[in-house]
Structure 1
Amino acid sequence: MFNIKQSNTEKSFLEFVQKIKAYDSAQSLLYWDMVTGMPEKGVSKRASIISLLSTEVFKMSTSDKMKEYLDNFSRQEVNKDLDPVMKGIVRECKKNYDRFKKIPEDKYRDFVRLKSEAESIWKKAKQNDDFNLFRPYLEKIVDYLNEFIDIWGYEGNKYNTLLDHYEPGVTVEKLDDIFTDLKASIVPLLKRVKDAQDKPDDSFLKEYYDPATQEKLCELLLEEIGYDFKAGRLDESEHPFTIGINSGDVRVTTHYYPHNLTSALFSSLHEGGHAIYDQNIDPELDETPLHDGASMGIHESQSRFWENIIGRSYNFWKSYYGKVRKLFPEQLNDISLDEFYRAINKVEPSMIRVEADELTYNLHIMVRYEIEKALINRELEVAELPEVWNQKMKEYLGIEPENDKEGVLQDVHWSNALFGYFPSYALGNIYAAQFYNTIKKEINNYDELISKGHFQPIKEWLGDKIHKYGKLLTPTEIIKKVTGEEINSRYLIKYLENKYSKIYKL
């Protein structure tokens, strides 16, 4: 598609970049194995191996050889002749070079090892409801991040540097405005929903649902929406995730709860959305830094699109509810399609982010966003987290966790030092609603396709408009190219108001 032409120097550079990607792929495979069933006693040594491989990537990415390539390609007489793909690869390599060159190699190696160990400790802390077990690891991670930010430099808020890692162009100032608008619309709508007389009954979703049968359902729905099992697999982990080993191996995980049908179902659709994106990036971008999503926000737009806009729609279940009833006849035989649809879209403030309904989900993100900002700006100590978390949950959602397992310990992200990542979930919801507004205009029979389970035209539209470009285009370029405007939260607000006004007969 991109018709890449290469000089000898470019070929040499690509070989160097491909070697870096090979190390990355090895790390990804080792990580997947670590969190999907590796023996507990192997964690320490596995963390050391991952740290070693990551250090090699660090060395190569910041090496004199990399600098020589980047200096050559930055020369005007050379740069003007580079094709868009090569310019994109150079751009991403330079961004990594500039970001990590000033960090001492031994410090980076220790940081990677810390993250690997921290995730294992987080898992144990969550299982045992013991925040103090995880606390010293999180304190070290926050210290590292602050040290790195001081090295990298920042404009305005220190948190901006971390935001830029996941959503280039987005700042605290922009996010504060976006979240203010969302809150101003969501909170009044949430109150109207709470006051509604006709509320859905979702008690039947909490009966016993055999995990093995849940797995069959998740595999069925993933295959139906276009996830390629010949280029991936579905496994179980404590926290659902998607990981790309390479273009032909993009794996997803979920977690099965015997008394919760929807958790694994919708997390599978969510991760499937991520994976379909990765599986359909143009093959010519494989083994380069461009074989990735434009940003985490754009990536989340795809997962939230499949999980919510399609997966929680009435038309989707017109096609698939019959199959679900056959798998779980005792639980669902007396439940109509309308009752099932209303139940899976029930609005009820939840302690757990990944189980939150569409309406309250962004409030969960705001809680995490405000806490992260405060931690990075040294306005909050890690030791204060459980108390502050509970206070903010009460302020935003009107509920308070009974323990840290369902509170501050519920997410894996901080153990992996993914500060600045959470806002991408909210941005993903906004992007998804914008894409939805556009796709309905461009695919005339969109609703009919969904109701018949014919997703190929939709998958192809997303592939042509978004997926194939990988990281070649910036998130701003993607959203403007597809929708004709910059990020605009009014489409999400309109979508939520229309949907929940009908469900709750407001």
Structure 2
Amino acid sequence: MKDSVSKLKEIIKKMGYFNSMSSIMYWDMSVNAPKKSIDYRSELLGFASTEVHKLMTSDSVKELLDEIKYEELDVIDKAMYREIKKEYEKATKIPEEKVHEYAVISSKSQVAWEEAKEKKDFEIFKPHLEKVINMKKEYIDFIGNKGNKYDTLLDEFEKGMTVDKLDKLFEELKNGIMELLNKIRKSRKENKDKLIGNYPIEKQKEFSLKVIKDLGFDFDGGRLDKSVHPYTINLGYGDVRITTHYNEKDLRPAVLGCIHECGHALYEQGFKEELYNKGLSDGASMGIHESQSLFYENIIGQSKEFWKYYYKDLQDYFEDIKNMDFDEFYQQINRVEPSLIRIDADELTYCLHIIIRYEIEKAIFNEEVEINNLKDMWNKKYEEYLGVIPDHDSEGILQDMHWSDGSFGYFPSYALGNLYAAQFRNKIISDNPKMLEEIENGNFESILKWLRDNVHKHGAVYSPSELVCNITGEELHAKYFIEYLNDKYSKIYNL
């Protein structure tokens, strides 16, 4: 059986090579590639995806899966076996020509989205989005679903998650957020944004680089670049890259965005090397992945303790805040104001942006809305939940890149990430009551070590529900995040 396990690992390693090639091409498309290269690059991505599909669906994989005795494997190899078997069963349901077609459609769709966003015109993107939606509906038909059709897409990013489970979590979350938001609205007299000013991009970059280095980002195994939409990508062992987007009038998107992506990258840089050749060099789920980025961005990066340590440095970088006292800055960095743009949303209202997208995606895949009505549905929900209406498509339905590459089912991960992060925070403070004091002194080592030991090193060995239970001793709850929000914002707004 050892020989069979070794042969299976070799196949998984080859698939990993092709996936790394695809990631490199994707990164290059978003950071460096000239426009004329897009069609050819899309074909290359299609080719790589097809080769992975061929390997995954080969007779060799089936034979090896049949030969290996699951009960005799260790914990990591059992996880490898479960993942490859699940992917094999899924892949064999999708015709090879469809894999290539999907890769080409999604690549061209991403380029169309960038053009549409730049020109603020949903009509440019709409025909491409329609193809992507039809592609994902076809995918659901191939894979099959036992409950809600949208469950198939949720499971891609959050293993075991269903509409039934999510509806209950999100209902509690929405009610908790709306109750606190209403209290804040009644309490405040003036809520002007005082951080809008002049923040040179080079200085934003310098400060962001300093912070993420302090947090533990390994620049020998990664880099920071600029793209239309910030993201983190793992190109293979020792190469984790992050991108950000700068706004000369507001330092928050880049600074907090870099801290957010740093959280993702620290997770990726913390995988055990052995997981790369076993198909386990990934997060337990996108929700767990988002818990790491949101833990760093919000729980650390927007904490009073964090800015007590960094605020003097920030003032040295930017003239526009030299005369702003600390308490005012802290309130401004945590200013609550319902807004249009998800990635710029405050910590409290952010999850409402996610719930809007979740409800729209459910409607799409349960045939409750047509593509011609998507924009109106988007705008109406923003008015209902947040009291704002987009002036143009780029600050509305075109603001995110996720739908352009078919990542339906991904958005709920962002809200789940907040729930996981708060539950992990509760456990870290229980294990280390000095956590906040350490942050105030610029010491992030013990936090990173705790996350490495409890979350990062495991990669995708455990399911998200197994991982959160192993770490905290209970299933995921919304209560810890709601308690965290109430405690923090009650103090900020003197509720």
TM-score range, shorter chain: over 0.9
Cα separation, 1, equivalents of 2:448 and 2:98: 43
Matched, 1:216 2:201: no
Q: Residues 258-316 of structure 1: CA distance to partner in whole angstroms, max 9, x if unpaired?
A: 11110011111111000000100112212331111000000000000000000000000
Matched, 1:65 2:55: no
Letter in 1 for 2:321: L
> 1:187: which partner in 2?
178
Matched, 1:105 2:100: no
Letter in 2 for 1:219: L
**What SS does the aligned partner of 1:399 have?**
coil
CA contact (8 A) 2:18 2:49 kept: yes
State the 1:366 CA deviation: 0.6
> 2:161: which partner in 1?
170
Q: 1:200 to 1:395 in 2, by over 3 A?
A: closer
State the 1:197 CA deviation: 2.8
Contiguous gaps of at least 5 residues in structure 1:
1-5
CA contact (8 A) 1:22 1:287 kept: no
Cα separation, 2, equivalents of 1:248 and 1:7: 28
CA contact (8 A) 1:149 1:161 kept: yes
- The alignment's TM-score, normalised by the length of structure 2, stands at 0.99
Cα separation, 2, equivalents of 1:285 and 1:63: 22
CA contact (8 A) 1:198 1:505 kept: no
Cα separation, 2, equivalents of 1:333 and 1:202: 16
> 1:230: which partner in 2?
220
Q: Which aligned pairs between 1:35-46 and structure 2 lie closer than 5 A?
A: 35-46=30-41
CA contact (8 A) 2:70 2:81 kept: no
Cα separation, 1, equivalents of 2:295 and 2:265: 13
Cα separation, 2, equivalents of 1:198 and 1:319: 29
State the 1:171 CA deviation: 0.6
CA contact (8 A) 1:348 1:357 kept: yes
Among candidates 439, 444, 458, match of residue 469 of structure 1: 458
> 2:313: which partner in 1?
323
CA contact (8 A) 1:30 1:46 kept: yes
Cα separation, 1, equivalents of 2:283 and 2:481: 21
> 2:10: which partner in 1?
15
Q: Which aligned pairs between 1:379-390 and structure 2 lie closer than 5 A?
A: 379-390=368-379
Q: Which aligned pairs between 1:337-416 and structure 2 lie closer than 5 A?
A: 337-416=326-405
**What SS does the aligned partner of 2:471 have?**
helix
CA contact (8 A) 2:77 2:278 kept: no
Cα separation, 2, equivalents of 1:218 and 1:385: 36
Letter in 2 for 1:103: I
Q: Residues 439-497 of structure 1: CA distance to partner in whole angstroms, max 9, x if unpaired?
A: 00101211111001100110000010111000001101110111110001000000111
Cα separation, 2, equivalents of 1:68 and 1:458: 44
State the 1:37 CA deviation: 2.3
> 1:96: which partner in 2?
87
**What SS does the aligned partner of 2:349 have?**
helix
> 2:23: which partner in 1?
28
Q: Residues 97-122 of structure 1: CA distance to partner in whole angstroms, max 9, x if unpaired?
A: 11121211111101111111100110
**What SS does the aligned partner of 2:393 have?**
coil
Among candidates 454, 466, 469, match of residue 480 of structure 1: 469
CA RMSD of aligned residues (A): 1.0
Q: 1:42 to 1:180 in 2, by over 3 A?
A: same
CA contact (8 A) 1:252 1:271 kept: yes
Among candidates 252, 257, 266, match of residue 242 of structure 2: 252
Cα separation, 1, equivalents of 2:190 and 2:490: 12
**What SS does the aligned partner of 1:246 have?**
coil
> 1:419: which partner in 2?
408
**What SS does the aligned partner of 1:80 have?**
helix
- The alignment's TM-score, normalised by the length of structure 1, stands at 0.96
CA contact (8 A) 1:58 1:100 kept: yes
Letter in 2 for 1:289: G
Among candidates 283, 299, 302, match of residue 309 of structure 1: 299
State the 1:199 CA deviation: 4.7
> 1:3: which partner in 2?
none
Letter in 1 for 2:138: E
CA contact (8 A) 1:266 1:311 kept: yes
Cα separation, 2, equivalents of 1:81 and 1:153: 31
State the 1:247 CA deviation: 2.1
State the 1:200 CA deviation: 5.3
Cα separation, 1, equivalents of 2:13 and 2:190: 55
Q: Residues 95-152 of structure 1: CA distance to partner in whole angstroms, max 9, x if unpaired?
A: 1111121211111101111111100110000000111111111111111111111121
Percentage of pairs with the same residue: 46
State the 1:198 CA deviation: 5.3
State the 1:246 CA deviation: 1.1
Cα separation, 1, equivalents of 2:70 and 2:480: 39
Cα separation, 2, equivalents of 1:200 and 1:373: 35
> 2:287: which partner in 1?
297
Matched, 1:277 2:267: yes
**What SS does the aligned partner of 1:243 have?**
strand
CA contact (8 A) 1:111 1:144 kept: yes
Q: Residues 386-406 of structure 1: CA distance to partner in whole angstroms, max 9, x if unpaired?
A: 111000000110111111110
